[in-house]
């Protein structure tokens, strides 16, 4: 039973090392720029060209527009919002 456990731990460790080596080799050594590509939606220039933005930014824009429509203004002294 212990032999099976040790063999399985060794196989998982070897698999992890090979996977990490493969990722490092493909992304860092073969990539001419030497760093991982930016996959963030908000900072990726190709997605910006297509007009794709992050959901958090969209929600923030909607929130600001809804406050403007309702006529809300924030009160800095109390930290609240007064709509009227």
Write out the residue range of the structural domain in which residue 8 sits. 1-31
Residue 23 domain-assigned? yes
| Residue 84 pLDDT greater than 50, yes or no | no
In this prediction, residues 47-58 reach a mean pLDDT of 81
Residue 9 domain-assigned? yes
- What does each C-alpha distance from 62 to 3, 37, 42, 58, 59 come to in angstroms? 59, 29, 16, 6, 5
Residue 65 domain-assigned? no
* Number of structural domains found in the chain: 1
Partner residues linked to 54 by β-bridges: none
What integer pLDDT is reported at residue 56 of this predicted model?
82
Average pLDDT value for the chain: 75
Position 44 confidence tier, pLDDT thresholds 50, 70, 90? confident
Report whether 12 contacts 20 (CB < 8 A).
Answer: no
For the chain, helix (H) and strand (E) counts, in that order, are 3, 2
């Amino acid at each position: 039973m212990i032999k099976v456990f040790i063999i399985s731990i060794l196989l998982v460790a070897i698999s992890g090392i090979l996977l990490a080596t493969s990722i490092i080799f493909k992304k860092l050594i073969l990539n001419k720029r030497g760093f991982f590509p930016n996959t963030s939606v908000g900072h990726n220039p190709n997605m910006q060209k297509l007009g794709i933005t992050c959901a958090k930014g969209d929600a923030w824009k909607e929130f600001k527009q809804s406050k403007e429509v309702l006529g809300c203004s924030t009160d800095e002294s109390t930290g609240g919002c007064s709509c009227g």
